[in-house]
Structure 1
Amino acid sequence: MRRVLLTGAGGMLGSAILRLSRDVSPDLELVPITRAECDLEDQQQVQHLFEKEKVDGVIHAAAVVGGIQANIDEPEVFLASNLRINTNVISAARSNGVGEFLFIGSSCMYPKDYRNPLKEEYLLQAPLEATNEGYALSKIVGAKQCEYISQKTNYAYRTIIPSNLYGIGDDFSESKSHLVASVIRKVIEAKNSNQRKINIWGDGLARREFLFADDLAFVCLNAFGNLKDIPVYMNFGAGIDHSVNEYYQIVSDIMGYSGEFCHDLAKPAGMKQKLMDSSLAYALGYKPRTTLVEGLKKTIEHYQKSIAS
């Protein structure tokens, strides 16, 4: 039985990893860490955590996250807080002899409006999208630290770069929700209040690739123990993208909502497209298992139950 520290255990991805671990990887003993157990921005607390738990590996899914507006308003927070978290956790893992480390990156690490689909070698080839530059930089630095450790040691420190995620346990709040969670909340609110119009930021033509979080959790659990067999950087996404307008329409169809969509062209829309090339992962047998409609139905059902309770 291998002991694996799981940071961000209370988040969408972390909770999915915990939920699936017993069936997918019964040989892993996960040590779930949330903010209540340890302040990952505190170097001493993190060092004490590793000395106490004596784990064999780490799945690092913790991060300070937010939507477009939050990233625009507080770039220094997203940069500095995540830099501290990532540096503390990665450095403590190395100094305590942890041999396997899985760092969860982000598609925002890739350059703004660069070539699509985005390949791993495109990292740092052009400027980043300004609306989430702080967060993106923190992820790049963390991934680079893992790369450097792998180069200097026989440790397997790897970075999986997922497309945008959605799913059970997503953050549906107005200030922190990402696109799919925001769409679901707005459509449900509009339907429940008989609102005939929904406001969309931008023209709705920007395209985004979204992956059901359970599918990424499945990959993380299956890859662990064999991290030396995957590339230092590995994309993993759904393999198909949709426009913002299409996400609104798909969720509306599922919910039976027939109102109108209005576009606020004064609001930021972010990058035009962020479709990733996941061929390296697919070639190793790591492929999505959930269709968009299936994942949305599960997410909507879970969210409706949470607001009804």
Structure 2
Amino acid sequence: MNKGGKIYVAGHRGLVGSAIVRNLREKGYTNIIGKTHKELDLMNQADVRSFFEIEKPEYVFLAAAKVGGIYANSTTPADFIYENMEMQNNVIKASHDFKVTKLLFLGSSCIYPKNCPQPIKEEYLLSGYLEPTNEGYAIAKIAGLKMCQFFKKQYGDNFISCMPTNLYGPNDNFDLNNSHVMPALIRKFHEAKINNESVVEVWGSGKPLREFLYVDDMADACVFLMENYDGEEHVNVGTGKELTIRQLAEMIKEVVGFTGELKFNSEKPDGTMRKLLDVSKLEDTGWKYKVEMEDGIKIAYKWYCENL
């Protein structure tokens, strides 16, 4: 990317978008633009097209999305599929019509079938049934990925996609009703500690295996791909390492300093039992993660205490 080129980061205040802005600035990119939801509703096609016509961004990071954990995804699937498809359709089509030089679409590892062989290779996409608890979100992300592939195939647009594993870090969503497991547990343990509670409940059996990537590593991978990758196939982004939800809870408990007990509620859904990405394709291009889990959790918890 041209260091002085105009870069639009959609979702620049969110978990991933804010990290991408930090990374771009650290790398010397100076012409970065972002719009809040009040300034630009990405679900409004006319407004999106007007924005692209006026601003004429050269590069686009499409990190804006409606996201949430198992509870939010399973109870409001219509909202997840509709809102995400509206946003990504408008931005991708406007990027084509107004001749954006390059676009990166951010998906999610939930696009893969529920019972995928492990670790999950990019080629396993659409090879089986999806996890029902987040099917709406997953289908929207698959559609966005395919849109980028088809615009590249039909028109030659340089639109690429990456599929991150579970992300965490500064600017995460810590709302217990619609957050992911990492921020939810950080908040639960913190509140239990300051309220002198003796038990913290964790959803599910604690047995599912999950992979986590610190968000600044994700942002670094995004910028790396924009600078170095032009392939049609999407790229997995992760660490290639996994741990159980029980191990995660124990790690967060120690970082927060909660001294009580853990209680696993098996009546709550576990979701997919294992979801480890094969990241060999990304590593073969020359990128690898830097932040280990315990260090990342410490940074995330410090941010939570200072900001929320």
TM-score (norm: length of structure 1):
0.96
| Residues 1:268 and 2:269 aligned together | yes
1:28: Cα distance to partner? 5.2
Aligned equivalent of 1:38, options 37, 40, 44: 40
**Rounded Cα–Cα distance in structure 2 between residues aligned with 1:33 and 1:212:** 24
Quick one: which amino acid aligns to residue 129 of structure 1?
E
**Rounded Cα–Cα distance in structure 2 between residues aligned with 1:169 and 1:27:** 21
**Rounded Cα–Cα distance in structure 1 between residues aligned with 2:39 and 2:259:** 45
Per-residue CA deviations over 1:180-230 (Å, capped at 9, x if unaligned) read 1011001111111111111111111011111000001111122224332x4
**Rounded Cα–Cα distance in structure 2 between residues aligned with 1:34 and 1:120:** 32
**Rounded Cα–Cα distance in structure 1 between residues aligned with 2:235 and 2:153:** 16
Point out 4+ residue stretches in structure 1 off by more than 3 angstroms. none
Q: Which residue of 2 aligns with 1:235?
A: 236
Q: Which residue of 1 aligns with 2:245?
A: 244
1:167: Cα distance to partner? 0.4
Q: Which residue of 1 aligns with 2:54?
A: 52
**Rounded Cα–Cα distance in structure 2 between residues aligned with 1:213 and 1:272:** 23
1:289 aligned counterpart, secondary structure = coil
Aligned equivalent of 1:17, options 3, 12, 20: 20
Q: Which residue of 1 aligns with 2:132?
A: 130
Aligned residues between the structures: 305
2:175 aligned counterpart, secondary structure = coil
Quick one: which amino acid aligns to residue 86 of structure 1?
Q
* Aligned positions of 1:1-309 closer than 5 A: 1-24=4-27, 26-27=28-29, 29-228=31-230, 230=231, 232-307=233-308
**Rounded Cα–Cα distance in structure 2 between residues aligned with 1:210 and 1:53:** 35
Quick one: which amino acid aligns to residue 247 of structure 2?
E
**Rounded Cα–Cα distance in structure 1 between residues aligned with 2:75 and 2:13:** 25
**Rounded Cα–Cα distance in structure 1 between residues aligned with 2:38 and 2:19:** 18
Per-residue CA deviations over 1:155-182 (Å, capped at 9, x if unaligned) read 2111110001000110001112101101
Structure 2 contact 149–232 (Cα < 8 Å) conserved = no
**Rounded Cα–Cα distance in structure 2 between residues aligned with 1:125 and 1:185:** 36
1:232: Cα distance to partner? 2.5
Structure 1 contact 100–225 (Cα < 8 Å) conserved = no
Quick one: which amino acid aligns to residue 95 of structure 1?
D
**Rounded Cα–Cα distance in structure 1 between residues aligned with 2:128 and 2:305:** 41
**Rounded Cα–Cα distance in structure 2 between residues aligned with 1:231 and 1:260:** 48
**Rounded Cα–Cα distance in structure 1 between residues aligned with 2:283 and 2:294:** 21
1:40 aligned counterpart, secondary structure = coil
**Rounded Cα–Cα distance in structure 2 between residues aligned with 1:224 and 1:33:** 21
Quick one: which amino acid aligns to residue 144 of structure 2?
G
2:275 aligned counterpart, secondary structure = coil
2:78 aligned counterpart, secondary structure = helix
1:153: Cα distance to partner? 2.7
**Rounded Cα–Cα distance in structure 2 between residues aligned with 1:47 and 1:83:** 16
Superposition CA RMSD, Å: 1.2
Among all aligned residue pairs of Structure 1 and Structure 2, give the percentage whose two residues are the same amino acid: 36
TM-score (norm: length of structure 2):
0.96
Gapped regions of structure 2 (runs ≥ 5)? none
